[in-house]
Structure 1
Amino acid sequence: MLAMDERVDEHVPVEIEKLADSSSTVNTGATEKAMAHEDENEHVPIDMKKLADSLSGKLETLPPLSTKCSIYRVAEPRRCSNPSHYTPQMVSIGPFHHGKEELQPMEEHKRRYLKCFLQRTKVSMARFLTLIKEREAELRDCYAETIHNLGSDEFVTMVLVDAVFLIEFFLRFCESDWRTDDDRIFTKTKLFLVIRYDFWLLENQLPLEISLLTITISWFRADLSGFLPIEEKLFENHFSKAAHFLDLFMLCLQPSQSRAPLQLKYPTVPGAKELHQAGVKFKAGSSKNLLDIKFEKGILEIPFIPVYEKTELLCRNLLAFEWLHDYTPYFNDYIIMIGWLITAPKDAELLFENEIVGLSEELPTMFGNLSKDCTLVLDGFLYSGLLADLYIYRKSPWHKWKATLKQNYFNTPRASISVIAAVILLLLTVTQTVCSLVAL
């Protein structure tokens, strides 16, 4: 045995021998430190030693943190105010809500979709599982917390079932011929509507794959873009950089034009109605980017704001993701800005008249509630320059006088005729008076 060991050592590189010698030196130093540490611990109670050993063990088993995480749990303060806006109602996607009892009925539908998918692709399940297993560590790193409740086999299985469910769902959405007679998701309209909203939730995401580009773009074009109008080319441009569906939305919502960061000197703005009375005109913006609000020559241009039943849900999850993922808070600033403009029903009515919003009595309440989840940062607020221009404009007496004249005396053809007639009558009266005085 000794001779064999000597032969093995003959092939050990010199660098490795040096490294081993160096390690021995380090170990000697470590031993001396350990002895000194033991001397220090001589006066520590036994129960404290046990507690220290227990805590040290936990410190040694801490998993490494990844800088690639993009899927988060929503902070409790946000969740408590509106828990239903962050919690899936029908289907779990990913590990955060996996296994919840109230979501179990949909697991059978997931497995049916998986069966159909495998039959169509003619690829073995083992092959798909192997591919996911090879990327398990990378996939786990996408989540902001360690997934303790799922072992390796459970995690890999969950990813396969959920990923195929999404793919099959999008395929059946785009191609009705692929739907089966027993598909209760697409044959039951209400079930379909609830499930599609579950896909928007921050805690209900899977890492996005480039192979999903075509069917995902079709889904966004036909369904999701109606809630937040976004140029179609932006989906394709940002898809490869997006971590998941919600991230894709956020990347597309960046301002189309860069703005110089300014200190916010006027951290509020009157409602739309009050601005209108001060002479500000409103116009529906031509841009499909919601954030492109502009103010030029007395006209406040705002892209059309679509509002549906679940708009608030989508906005809340975008705000939560923007904050947790440390994006520049552009969407946060947009919600604050619109919240200032729509504080009362009269503001919403004015914007409706100018085709900026669909008439909704709930707009002031909705944006007021959303604003509670926002943080106003004075340094670098997206609309700082716009607010400064608005402030200067509405402080001009001339603009307010013109607005008052137009709104009170020239707001209808009949009113205009009456005012003109009164002016003519006044001029005639003055002329007659002057002529009488001259005759004298």
Structure 2
Amino acid sequence: MQQGGNPNDIFIKINALLEEAKPRFSEECCIYKVPNNIRKLNEDAYTPQVVSIGPFHHANQNLQKMEDQKRLYCRQFIERSETKNLESLVSCVQEMEEEVRSCYSDDIKLSKEEHVMLILVDSCFILEFLLRFYFLVTRGDDSILLPEQLLVHIRNDLLLVENQVPFFVLDKLYYLSFPSTLNGEDLHNHPPLLSLTCYILPGFMISEDNFVLLSVSSDVDFGRIAHFVDLTRKLLLKSSKLFQLSTSDCSREAQVTHIYSASELNELGVKFEVNKNTECLLDITLSGHTLRIPFIRVHDWTELVLRNLLAFEQCHCIHESYLTDYTLFLDFLINTDKDVDLLIKKGIIENWLGDSNAVAKMFNGLAANTVTPDFNVQYSNIFKDLNAFCAHPWNKKVATLKRDYCNTPWKTVASIAAIFLLILTIIQTIFSILQVVH
């Protein structure tokens, strides 16, 4: 005889289980664990190498050496502050703890007290690091700003999407520590927080001059900046002449259309030039059959920065994924080292990796496993115009002629000689016929 459980007990258990269910992401969520299907493509690009910031990598044993240095910087930031009041900083973080916790996509396995300590130390470390970097101040105990290699790694670690604290925490702690700056006083010794971030943002994407111009004249709102990755993206979009989130010119009602590679487009008569009228990577334009692409310098850390920006777009603003559009564009243009060499020759790419194949592999892998539910109209129109130009019968014939008869200097000379000989033969034939007729 089968023994059955009490139906009421099962009902109570299931009901309790359902009541415990919570949404994975809150409305405040802005710091994400990179999805596994993207992360597995390049684990190192999303993992801090030197310093952990926030709770996601706090337990990583490979990063424990920096914990003492973080606490030292935290103490020195408090000593540097105008108030020198640890209690007020702790109280400030305690008041924000619940809001800060909701900014992270995954459940944080830390008590409130542990979380407050973590956020306070990490935030003060970042602020002290920014101040020292800004003023280029080093002390005898400074093991961060002295070794150049370590400095580069920390800057890169601060641009990882998993390795962030909310920007509003930095904002509140900074101006709580330097109230005179908030009042517009003593800006020489303690500049606005936004100015401090200039030197950690990726220079190959946002130049220092462009950053200063944007930070002074634009309407960047601290309350709307999620973290350093988001700040990088927002400043990049604000520097663009094509994509500005505040305008209606950035419609995303188009679908992705495939285009030929750079070398194929070149054979079909498309010209490539550097777009010198902009400093923003995104401002790709087509005028007639001339494709103008902004200059980009490819460093060892270019892939790291781009991958984290793309991951943030995929998790947080997938319907405004303008950087994803840009990488798709370059992914279409670059298939092999031949395409990279063409863009290097045209001055569009400056290759610091040394190997053209490495550059091609990087761009081909960036957009892998990304989702594109829509595409911006500006790029879509460029794609359509390029495809229409390439589909024209005359352009195809010219491309065939170039490929079959002018693909090397010797073939070009031989083809010209053959054409010249053919013209002479025709002229000679005409004169012979005229002589006979006469």
Shorter-chain TM-score tier = 0.7 to 0.9
- Cα distance between partner residues in 1 of 2:9 and 2:60: 37
* Per-residue deviation, 1:115: 1.6
Matched to 1:132, the amino acid is V
Q: Is the 8 A contact 1:94 1:158 kept in 2?
A: yes
- 1:193–1:52 distance in 2 versus 1, CA, 3 Å: farther
- Counterpart check, 1:78 vs 2:38: yes
- After superposition, the C-alpha distances for 1:160-180 in whole angstroms (9 at most, x for unaligned) are 10011101111111212x321
Per mean C-alpha deviation after superposition, the further-off stretch among 280-289 and 63-72 is 63-72
* Per-residue deviation, 1:437: 2.9
- Cα distance between partner residues in 2 of 1:123 and 1:234: 32
- Cα distance between partner residues in 2 of 1:439 and 1:379: 67
- After superposition, the C-alpha distances for 1:276-318 in whole angstroms (9 at most, x for unaligned) are 0001000111222222211121011111122111211222211
Q: Is the 8 A contact 2:405 2:412 kept in 1?
A: yes
| 1:120-269 → structure 2 map (5 Å cutoff) | 120-121=80-81, 122-147=83-108, 149-176=109-136, 178-209=137-168, 210=171, 214-220=192-198, 222-229=199-206, 231-232=210-211, 233-234=213-214, 237=218, 238-240=220-222, 241-254=224-237, 256-257=241-242, 258-261=249-252, 263-264=254-255, 267-269=257-259
Q: Is the 8 A contact 1:339 1:368 kept in 2?
A: yes
Q: Which runs of 5+ in 1 are unaligned?
A: 1-42
- 1:229–1:405 distance in 2 versus 1, CA, 3 Å: farther
Q: Is the 8 A contact 2:204 2:297 kept in 1?
A: yes
Matched to 1:338, the amino acid is L
Q: In structure 2, which of residues 286, 291, 295 is the aligned counterpart of residue 295 of structure 1?
A: 286
- Cα distance between partner residues in 2 of 1:244 and 1:143: 12
* Per-residue deviation, 1:432: 4.3
- Cα distance between partner residues in 1 of 2:266 and 2:76: 58
Structure 2 equivalent of residue 309 of structure 1: 300
- Cα distance between partner residues in 2 of 1:290 and 1:77: 26
| 1:361-440 → structure 2 map (5 Å cutoff) | 361-377=357-373, 383-402=379-398, 427=423, 430-440=426-436
Structure 2 equivalent of residue 273 of structure 1: 263
- Cα distance between partner residues in 1 of 2:253 and 2:88: 54
Q: Is the 8 A contact 1:227 1:306 kept in 2?
A: yes
Structure 2 equivalent of residue 343 of structure 1: 335
- 1:261–1:129 distance in 2 versus 1, CA, 3 Å: closer
When normalised by structure 2's length, the TM-score is 0.79
Q: Percent identity?
A: 35
Aligned residues: 393
Q: Is the 8 A contact 2:194 2:215 kept in 1?
A: no
Matched to 1:351, the amino acid is L
- Cα distance between partner residues in 2 of 1:125 and 1:408: 76
When normalised by structure 1's length, the TM-score is 0.79
- Cα distance between partner residues in 1 of 2:411 and 2:275: 30
Q: What RMSD over aligned residues (CA atoms) do the two structures have, in Å?
A: 3.2
Matched to 1:244, the amino acid is H
- Counterpart check, 1:358 vs 2:336: no
- 1:67–1:262 distance in 2 versus 1, CA, 3 Å: closer
* Per-residue deviation, 1:224: 2.7
- After superposition, the C-alpha distances for 1:256-287 in whole angstroms (9 at most, x for unaligned) are 322554544x7311110011000100011122
Q: Kindly indicate which of the two structures has a greater share of residues assigned to helix.
A: 1
Q: Is the 8 A contact 2:275 2:284 kept in 1?
A: yes
- Cα distance between partner residues in 1 of 2:12 and 2:264: 67
Task: Report the secondary structure of 2:286's partner residue.
Answer: strand
- Cα distance between partner residues in 1 of 2:128 and 2:94: 21
- Cα distance between partner residues in 2 of 1:366 and 1:235: 31
